[in-house]
Amino acid sequence: MLRRLGAIACLAAVIAGCGSAGSASPERGVESAPASSSAGLAATATTAPTNTNGGTSAAGSSAGSSPHFVAQLSGLRLPTPTSRGVAFPAGASIVLAGGFTIAGTTGSVVQVPISGGPIATIGSLEHPVHDAAGVVLAGSMLVLGGGAATQDAWIQRVGSVGRSVAQGRLPAPRADLGAVIVGSEAIVVGGGAGGGDDPRVLATSDGAHFRLVASLPVAVRYAAVAAVGGTVFVIGGAASTGDVATIQAVDVAAGTARVVGQLPMTVSHAAALILGGSIVIAGGRRAGRALDAVLAIDPTTLAVRTVARLPQPMSDAAGVVVGGVGYLVGGEAAHPLATIVTITPS
């Protein structure tokens, strides 16, 4: 976690509560899954391994395609500089829930019209958290886990107006995690709590009941997570030994997880977006230092390219795609940011 944020003396204690190393023990309340596979550990970012999507590629992508991207500051700004929040697409708006500000963990739910209309605070989380994950499941915006002084297991449903409602709990507290939608299920991956990284990949169709899909070969926090077809890619992250460069693939239907490639550098705290048929990895941190690189990964070949530079080095932004445009909402450099950066295929 970030060691300092401005001059707030209590930040180190708050952030340290969401990120420490180790391994977690299985908990009750999660159904078992088939054993995971670790085959193919030697695949690199420049090789062309077997398609991990079972022959299904991302829409608009093909081997050898080279989309271009433009990253730039938008005219939109948050009312309060915020990092480590969760962003949701909401029609022609972005909804940002929770996160971290100079004042500490926030429970605010803010709606940002993409057209540049008035930005409004539309509600609050029942349990304020940062470093949570978010998905839109069955039409509901869900905030999963996260933490404040300690890690939480709450699953909170964000309403269009007013206070959120806690509708369930993860099988164990978990912060610094990611979540994506595959079919009709939310897939929860990465993160941990209580000094341990949790390797378990979980699935839920209702935000209340979970099944075990697989276990990650490399347990990580702060990974960039994206879904293409039935495959969940877990990219980089912070392991017990430090930042990693691994690209891990979870086949949800088969119940397997394996390392399928490598980034050209270690990175954690980055945002993942699906744009132009590519998995776009934006910003992040390497050995604690914020990055400005924007990488594109071909989900078929796993080739990795640097495709753009952010306006400034930054990490821990909330990533969301609306209308084919990627948005990095807030984030942090030496302090939380109020900026909203767009990444557009060109």
If you search the block for the tokens 């640097």, which residue do you land on?
306
What residues pair up with 276 in beta bridges, in sequence order? none
Report residue 13 as tokens.
């204690």
Q: What would the pLDDT profile of 318-339 be if each residue is shown by its tens digit?
A: 999 999 999 999 999 999 999 9
Angle at CA of residue 283, ends 323 and 231, nearest 5°? 60
User: Residues 274-299, buried b or exposed e (16+ Cβ, 10 A)?
Assistant: bbbbbbbbbbbbbeeebbbbbbbbbb
Report residue 178 as tokens.
């990611």
Identify whether the C-beta of residue 124 lies closer than 8 Å to the C-beta of residue 108.
yes
Q: What would the pLDDT profile of 201-236 be if each residue is shown by its tens digit?
A: 999 999 999 999 999 999 999 999 999 999 999 999
| DSSP-assigned letters across all residues of 216-233 | -SS--BS-EEEEETTEEE
pLDDT tier at 104, thresholds 50, 70, 90: very high
Residue 102 to residues 68, 94, 121, 279, Cα–Cα distance (Å):
35, 22, 18, 31
| φ, ψ dihedrals at 37, nearest 5° | -110, 145
Per the model's pLDDT, the better-predicted residue between 278 and 64 turns out to be 278
pLDDT tier at 30, thresholds 50, 70, 90: low
Per the model's pLDDT, the better-predicted residue between 325 and 67 turns out to be 325
Cα torsion for 263, 264, 267, 272, to the nearest 10°? -50
For the cut 90, the answer to whether the pLDDT of residue 14 exceeds it is no
Q: What would the pLDDT profile of 124-157 be if each residue is shown by its tens digit?
A: 999 999 999 999 999 999 999 999 988 999 999 9
Q: What would the pLDDT profile of 40-62 be if each residue is shown by its tens digit?
A: 322 333 333 333 333 333 333 33
Sheet of 140-144, strands arranged across: 133-137, 140-144, 154-158, 165-169
Domain boundaries of the chain, sorted by first residue: 11-66+86-308
For the cut 60, the answer to whether the pLDDT of residue 267 exceeds it is yes
- The CATH class of the 11-66+86-308 domain is mainly beta
Indicate the pTM of the whole model: 0.84
What distance in Å separates the CA atoms of residue 54 and residue 57, rounded to the nearest whole number? Answer: 8
| φ, ψ dihedrals at 104, nearest 5° | 120, -165
